[in-house]
Amino acid sequence: MARAASVTDLPIKIITGADALGANLKDAMVSHLRSLGIEVEDTGDSSYYSAGAEVGRRVSASSSSSEIRGLVCCGTGVGVAMFANKFPGVYAATCLTVEDAVNARSISNCNVLALSGIKTSPETAIEIVTAWIKTPFKSPCPASGSEPWSSEISSFLDHSLSEMPQIGKSTTKQIDQASASCAICCLAKKREFTPVEIMPGGSMKIVRETPTSAIVRFKAGSVEPAHHHTFGHDIVVLKGKKSVEFEQEGES
C-alpha cells in the first residue's frame, strides 16, 4: 500500500525508547531499522512515562532541516505515546496494524510510532515499522480507500501542518496573562504587583496567601469580616479607600 522507498527516502535518524514490557520488541525494531541503513539512537529502557517523554523531547528539539522520528514501546503502546505527545511538534500514534501506521502517516504526519510489547509480535511490528517509515504524508491509505485524497481534503491536510502546532498556545498565553495580574504569582516570581483599578490612588499589601478569604483594613482601621474576594487574596488597604459590595447589604 505504501509506495516503494529507497534508503534516501527514509528518516535520517530514529530515536527509540521503551519500558520493561516493550524492551524486547524495541530491541528487535532497532536491529531491523539498522538493517535498512537507518541511524538509530537508542535511549535505553526506563519507565513508560520516562521513555515516552525522553523520545518526545528529543524529537521535539530536533532541527527541522533533517527528519528525525521516534519509536517507543511499552506494554500497550498507549502510555509511551501519551507522554511523547506532551512535547511540541510531536505526533505520536499507537499502531497495532499496518493499516494504523499508514493512516497515521498519511493523515497526521505521525513522527513517533508507539508499539505494544504485549499485543504485537516482532514479525508484525516489522511490517508496521516498515509501512510507517515508507509512507509519505498525504499518500493513499486505508482511510482514503487506497485512492489519492480529494483536492479539498488534500488542502485541509496541507493546512493542518501549520495549524496543529498552534493548538494549546492560546491557552498557555491566557494562563501567562492571568498569572501576570495575580499578586501571589508576581511575588513568587519576584515581580512588582500593580494594584487593581478598583482602588484608584490606593495601595494594598498581601498578608496571607489563602485564596478563599480576604481581610481588608480600611483607612479608619476597621477590619472587614473575612470573606471571598474575586482576586482571591487577603489584603490590607494602606492608602486610599476600597468599596466592597455585599449581595444583601449593598455597598459599604
The whole-number average pLDDT for the span 242-250 is 53
Domains in the chain, start-ordered, CATH in brackets? Answer: 7-166 (3.40.1400.10), 171-243 (no CATH)
pTM beyond 0.85: the answer is no
The answer to whether the beta carbons of residues 34 and 40 sit under 8 Å apart is yes
Q: Strand, helix or coil at 158?
A: helix
C-beta neighbour count of 72 within 10 angstroms: 32
The C-alpha atoms of residue 236 and residue 154 are separated, in whole angstroms, by 60
Mean pLDDT over the full length of the chain: 78
pLDDT at 26: 98
pLDDT at 235: 55
pLDDT at 17 over 80: yes
Grid coordinates given for 79: 502510555
Grid coordinates given for 73: 514501546
The answer to whether the beta carbons of residues 16 and 26 sit under 8 Å apart is yes
The whole-number average pLDDT for the span 123-137 is 96
pLDDT at 176: 58
Which band of pLDDT confidence, cut at 50, 70 and 90, is reported for residue 236? Answer: low
The whole-number average pLDDT for the span 144-169 is 87
Helix (H) or strand (E) holding 79: helix 78-84
